[in-house]
Amino acid sequence: MSTRHGVFVTLEGGEGVGKSTAALRLTALLREAGHEVVATREPGGTPGAEAIRDLLLNADTELTALAQTMLHFAARADHVARVIRPALARGAVVISDRYSDSTMAYQAYGMGVEIAAVDALIRLTGLTPDITFILEVPESVSKSRIKSRGAASDRYERMDAEVMARIAQGFRAIAAAAPARCVMLDGTEPVEVVVARMRGIIQERTGR
Ligand code: TMP
């Protein structure tokens, strides 16, 4: 296992909470401050993991919830080994748009895979973020943001409201169980406000 000098930040939340825009702006702010930032995403982040992403998001390929879980962790194992750990060993700030908490919220809380099974895979992966920002918006906001994207909806954007509600509840449970790592943020605030809070918390907790 590599020695860790960098900072590992993850952004989490349901659909249309504004994570990806926030990740872009946070990356820019940290770079302006002179930090090496590796901005990445899950599922994805390496050629192999991006290939798995295509399979996972394609709603026409039927996959059980457990099969999806294992594919998310297969992608993650490659991403952690090839991108995240080497970047942390160099001292970089890694910002990942989604990570293991998404599997816990979507596949366990949302789709009914055993929490203990996801926990076991998280332990196997062996890398916990230093700070996790969880963005939340009301369901109506999430729905209208998904709709306004206009693109054909993927497997997860097609989930019904009940599953989406369980996912949101899952993220709240994750945050409550790990208060030293997780910070819940209101995704209805202007993105500048959300990102300024993230920047402040990173500085406070890590000195970066
Ligand atoms: P995104 O790029 O819009 O965040 O798309 C990734 C989708 O994959 C999103 O709908 C959430 C879903 N997902 C899971 O269900 N489990 C996971 O472990 C991860 C990383 C993502």
Among 106, 134, 148, which is best to mutate for testing ligand 1, by the most ligand atoms less than 8 A from CB? 106
Q: Please state which of the ranges 1-5, 11-15, 47-51 shows the lowest mean pLDDT.
A: 1-5
Q: What is the 3-state secondary structure (H, E, C) of 85-121?
A: HHHHHHCCEEEEECCHHHHHHHHHHHCCCCHHHHHHH
Number of C-beta neighbours around residue 72 at 10 A: 25
Q: How far is CA 90 from CA 35, 38, 68, 86, in A?
A: 11, 11, 32, 6
Planar angle of CA 191, 196, 202, nearest 5 degrees: 125
CA of 152 to the centre of ligand 1 (A): 15
> For 39-85, what is each residue's pLDDT tens digit?
999 999 999 999 999 999 999 999 999 999 999 999 999 999 999 99
Residue 132 or 157, more confident: 132
User: Is residue 60 classed as helix, strand or coil in its secondary structure?
Assistant: coil
43 lines ligand 1 (CB under 6 A): yes
Which token pair is 10? 């993850």
**pTM for the whole structure:** 0.97
d(C-alpha 170, C-alpha 163), whole Å: 10
